[in-house]
Amino acid sequence: MYNCYYVSTTCVDQKKILLACDPVSDQRRNNFMLTEQSSFAKADAVSFVAPYGAVMKASTRKTGKQTVTAEEASKRMAWVVQINAVRDSKDRQAFAELFGYFAPRVKSFLMKSGASPDLAEECTQEVMATLWNKAHMFDPAKASVSTWIFTIARNRKIDLLRKQRRPEPEELTWGPEAEPDQADAMGLQQETEQLGQALATLPEEQRKLIERAYFGELSHSQIAAETGLPLGTIKSRIRLALDRLRHAMK
C-alpha cells in the first residue's frame, strides 16, 4: 500500500509532490464525495467522510499517489466528525478517540516547550477538557483540527507555563452567510495534511530549525538572524485554503 512517506521519500522533486497533493484535484474530491457518508448535522448536498472509527481504507480508487493523501485526509475529516460528535451529543467515545491521538502529542509539544512532565500532564488534560468545552467554537472551514488543538495548547502554555496575560486579536465578525462550508472545510483539512507531509519531507536540518522555532528554543531575534525559516515551500500547501479565508474576510 502506498503511504505518504512512500511518496515523500521517493518523490524528491517538490513540484511533483505539489502536483500529487494538488488540493483542487477534482478526482480526489470526487473520491470523498462519492464514497463516504456524512455525519455532519447540517449535511445537505455532499457527503464525504466516514463516521469516526471507520476511517476508510479501500474506498478510494488506487490511483497511485492520490490514494495516499485521500486516506490521510479522511483521517483528518474523521477528527472533524469526532469534534462535532462531542459538540452535538457530548459523545465520550469520540472524545476518547481524539484524546488517544492528540493528548500524547500535546504533552510532547508542552514538554519540548520547557514544561516539566507533571506540568505538561496537567496542562494536557486541561487542553483536552477545553476541547470538550469549546467544541461549539470549532469551525473546520477556518482551521484544521490539528491547528485548532495546537492553538488551545499554545494558549494554555502561555497561561500555565509562562503565566502571562495573553492578548488576542479581536475576532472578525463574519457575515450571516458564513456558515461553515463543507467544501472549504474539506479543502482546509486536506491542505493541512499536505502541509504536514511537506514538513516531513524537508531535509532533517531544515525541519529541526522549524521545530526549534516552535518549541521556543530559538528566539524571534535568533530566527531573524537566520536567513529565514524554510517555510516558503511548505506553507504554499495551504495557500489555497487561506486565500479563500482572506477572500471571506474582505
Partner 1 sequence: MKNGMKQIKHHLTEPLLVGYAAGTLPEAFNLVVATHITMCDTCRAALAEYEAVGGEVMLSSDPVDVAEDALAATMAMIDDGFEVAPVAPKRRDSASIFPGPLQDYIDGDIDNLKWRKVGGGVSQLVLKTSNDASVRLLRIPAGMAVPDHGHRGTELTLVLQGAFMDEDDRFDAGDVEVANQEMHHTPVAAGGIDCICLAASDAPLRFDGLIPRLAQRFIGI
What residues between 124 and 183 interact with partner 1 by CB under 8 A?
124-126, 128-130, 132-133, 142-144, 146-151, 153-159, 162-170, 172
**Cα distance between residue 29 and residue 61, in whole Å:** 12
Q: Does 216 interact with partner 1 (rule: CB under 8 A)? A: yes
Contact between 97 and 52 (Cβ < 8 Å): yes
Question: Minimal distance in Å, beta carbon 97 to partner 1?
Answer: 10
Q: How far apart are CA 68 and CA 221, in angstroms?
A: 39
Q: For the range 120-123, what are the long-range contacts, defined as Cβ-Cβ under 8 Å and sequence gap of 24 or more?
A: 122/160, 123/153, 123/156, 123/157, 123/160, 123/161
Among 196, 206, 233, 240, binds partner 1 (CB under 8 A): 196
Measured from the CB atom, the residue of 3 and 37 that comes closer to partner 1 is: 3
Cβ closest to partner 1, residue 59 vs residue 125:
125
Residue by residue, DSSP assigns 122-153 as HHHHHHHHHHHHTGGG--TTTS-HHHHHHHHH
**The C-alpha cell of 98 is what?**
481524539
Among positions 19, 24, 34, 96, the unique one binding partner 1 when judged by CB under 8 A:
96
User: Quick check: 199 binds partner 1 (CB under 8 A)?
Assistant: yes
50 or 123: whose CB is closer to partner 1?
A: 123
Q: Shortest Cβ distance from residue 16 to partner 1 (Å)?
A: 20
Closer CB to partner 1, 100 or 203, in the complex:
100
Cβ at position 113, least distance to partner 1 in Å: 8
Q: Which residues contact 148 (CB under 8 A, 6 or more apart)?
A: 138
Contact 168, 118 (CB under 8 A): no
What one-letter code names the amino acid at 237?
A: R
240 binding partner 1? (CB under 8 A)? no
The answer to whether 49 and 36 are in contact (CB under 8 A) is: yes
Q: Which 3 state secondary structure label does DSSP give 4? A: helix
61/244 with CB nearer partner 1: 244
Q: How far is the CB of 234 from partner 1 (least distance, A)?
A: 7
Q: Which is nearer to partner 1, 44 or 164 (CB)?
A: 164
The least distance separating partner 1 from the CB of residue 170, rounded to whole angstroms, comes to 4
For residues 13 and 170, which CB has a smaller minimum distance to partner 1 in the complex?
170
Residue list 17-76, contact with partner 1 (CB under 8 A): none
Member of 11, 18, 54, 103 binding partner 1 (CB under 8 A): 103
Give the cell for residue 248.
Answer: 471571506
For residues 47 and 211, give the distance between their C-alpha atoms in angstroms, rounded to a whole number.
Answer: 36
The nearest distance, CB 249 to partner 1, in angstroms, is: 5
Are 83 and 143 a contacting pair, CB within 8 Å?
A: no
Taking a C-beta distance cutoff of 8 angstroms, is the pair 160, 119 a contact? Answer: yes
